[in-house]
């Protein structure tokens, strides 16, 4: 399908393919240099062509955040899948069905009770689940601390319970709160050392631990070395966004996702242009609010992608956005952005903004557009 941005209705979620491919290559080359497998997290895109591009570049397997993602990408022919959210007992039949259909699905636990539930269900159904133990290396969410006695208890509950203890997995999600190379490198090392240490404790206790899986986009791009790590996971790097820009791991020129919008009105006295990208398009994500640079609901660019410094989507209602100049009311707003002007807005958070759309519009270097479906729900 060949057309141009002018032909699209707005709002539309546009992926700049050259930027996306550059982001994919950068991460894959870095992982190759560090000597680890790379397993992208597909929750960012939920879109087959994006994931295919990641695999084509050398990624091995995928990470998912829901079993719907697992079902969807397994139907697309991808079998090596880590479900990186703690396994709820009521979802075990669905996980079992996926495995019986040939999906090499690995599941996650961080408690003895959950490990016992997985093992009991596995034994009752004659299935040996591959199970990773979630390790907490930065205190931000789930997982067992590397030095917590529970780690070995969970390991034994799985291994002695007849399951395959596949390894350990951690996610240093607090990296999103940092913004200096030194702090990022330090957290990356903390993530690595904590997860490797957990693996070593399990092995010292006579338990198997083949996989040591770590990752977040900021730490993956900041680690000095990954000794002892076998695989890295990251998601948002494929598109990047303003939060990642503020963290310091990309420039605005790396951000591959933008929302195409149309100017539908003005408030001249206030210096506002009203556009048809509200929070339904951008999402309610205000991730840059607590960072050193607050972009409101997004950075305004021309339709060709040129950043307009100082112009942000300062407010958003459901289907209305307000474009304004941060420094002073733009008294030339009507002349600058006449009715019908098309703008592109760089989002705070690519995962959240993408989820607002049923499809991406993939824009190639020669200005051709292709529609890429993405899926929604659970």
Minimum gap (Å) between residue 225 Cβ and a copy of itself: 27
Shortest CB 142 distance to a copy of itself, Å: 5
- Provide the minimum distance between the beta carbon of 122 and a copy of itself in the complex, in angstroms, as a whole number: 17
**Closer Cβ to a copy of itself, 15 or 36, answer by number:** 15
List of residues contacting a copy of itself (CB under 8 A): 9-12, 43, 65-66, 85-91, 110-111, 113-114, 117, 136, 141-142, 173, 262, 264-267, 274, 276, 279-281, 283-286, 317-320, 322, 338-340, 349, 351-352, 355-359, 376-378
The Cβ of residue 253 has, within 10 Å, a number of other Cβ atoms equal to 13
Residue 74 or 297: the one with the smaller Cβ distance to a copy of itself is 297
Q: How far apart are CA 41 and CA 82, in angstroms?
A: 9
Q: How far is the CB of 173 from a copy of itself (least distance, A)?
A: 6
For the CB of residue 260, give the shortest distance to a copy of itself in the complex, in Å: 11
Residue number, 226 or 352, with CB nearest to a copy of itself: 352
Please, which residue, 88 or 204, has the CB nearer to a copy of itself? 88
Nearer to a copy of itself, 299 or 348 (CB): 348
- CB nearer to a copy of itself: give 29 or 289: 289
Contact assessment for residue 261 and residue 311, using Cβ atoms and an 8 Å cutoff:
no
Closer to a copy of itself by CB, 22 or 320: give it. 320
State in angstroms the smallest separation of the CB of 177 from a copy of itself: 12
- Taking the complex as a whole, how short is the minimal distance between the CB of residue 35 and a copy of itself, in angstroms? 29
CB nearer to a copy of itself: give 117 or 187: 117
CA distance 171 to 140: 9
Distance CA 109, CA 115 (A): 6
Q: Tell me the closest approach of the beta carbon of residue 191 to a copy of itself, in angstroms.
A: 16
Rounded least distance, CB 76 to a copy of itself, Å: 19
**Least spacing, CB of residue 42 vs a copy of itself, in Å:** 12
Q: HEC states along the chain?
A: CCCCHHHCCCCEEEEEHHHHHHHHHHHHHHHHHHCCEECCECCCCCCHHHHHHHHHCCCCCEEECCHHHHHHHHHCCCCEEEEEEECCHHHHHHHHHHHHCCCEEEEEECCHHHHHHHHHHHHHCCCCCEEEEEECCCCCCCCECCCCCHHHHHHHHHHCCCCEEEEEEECCHHHHHCCCHHHHHHHHHHHHHHHHHHHHHHHHCCCCCCEEEECCHHHHCCCCCCCCCCEECCCHHHCCCHHHHHHCCCCHHHCCEEEEEEEEEEEHHHCEEEECCCHHHHCCCCCCCCCCCCCECCEEEECCCCEEEEEEEEEECCCCEEEEECCCCCCCHHHHCCCCCEEEEECCCHHHHHCCCCEEEEECCCCCEEEEECCCCC
Structure tokens belonging to residue 378: 């659970």
Parallel, antiparallel or unpaired: strands 62-64 and 80-86: parallel
Nearer to a copy of itself, 88 or 205 (CB): 88
For residues 185 and 264, which CB has a smaller minimum distance to a copy of itself in the complex? 264
């Amino acid at each position: 399908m060949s057309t141009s941005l002018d032909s699209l209705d707005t709002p539309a979620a546009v992926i700049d393919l050259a930027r996306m491919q550059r982001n994919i290559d950068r991460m894959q080359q870095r992982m190759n240099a560090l000597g680890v497998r790379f397993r992208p997290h597909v929750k960012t895109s939920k879109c087959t062509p994006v994931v295919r591009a990641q695999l084509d570049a050398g990624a091995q397997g995928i990470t998912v955040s829901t079993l719907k993602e697992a079902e969807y990408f397994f139907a697309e022919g991808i079998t090596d899948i880590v479900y990186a959210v703690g396994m709820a007992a009521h979802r075990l039949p669905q996980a079992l069905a996926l495995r019986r259909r040939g999906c090499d699905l690995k599941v996650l636990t961080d408690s003895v009770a959950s490990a016992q539930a997985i093992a009991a269900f596995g034994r009752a159904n004659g299935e040996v689940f591959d199970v990773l133990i979630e390790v907490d290396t930065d205190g931000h969410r789930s997982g067992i601390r590397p030095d917590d006695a529970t780690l070995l208890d969970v390991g034994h509950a799985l291994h002695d319970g007849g399951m395959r203890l596949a390894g350990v997995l951690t996610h240093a999600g607090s990296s999103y709160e940092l913004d200096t190379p030194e702090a990022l490198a330090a957290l990356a090392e903390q993530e690595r050392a904590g997860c490797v240490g957990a693996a070593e404790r399990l092995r010292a206790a006579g338990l198997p631990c083949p996989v040591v899986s770590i990752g977040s986009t900021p730490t993956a791009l900041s680690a000095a070395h990954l000794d002892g790590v076998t695989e890295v996971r990251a998601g948002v790097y494929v598109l990047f966004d303003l939060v990642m820009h503020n963290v310091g791991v990309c420039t605005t020129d790396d951000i591959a996702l933008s929302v195409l919008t149309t100017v539908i009105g003005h408030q001249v006295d206030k210096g506002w242009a009203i556009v048809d990208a509200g929070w339904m398009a951008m999402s309610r994500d205000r991730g840059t609010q607590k960072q050193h640079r607050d972009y409101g609901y997004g950075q305004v660019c021309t339709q060709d992608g040129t950043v307009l410094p100082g112009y942000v989507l300062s407010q958003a209602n459901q289907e209305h956005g307000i474009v304004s100049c941060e420094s002073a009311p733009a008294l030339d707003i009507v002349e600058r952005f006449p009715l019908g002007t098309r703008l592109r807005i760089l989002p705070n958070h690519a995962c959240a903004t993408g989820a607002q759309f049923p499809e991406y519009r993939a824009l190639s270097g020669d200005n051709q557009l292709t529609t890429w479906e993405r899926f929604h729900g659970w």
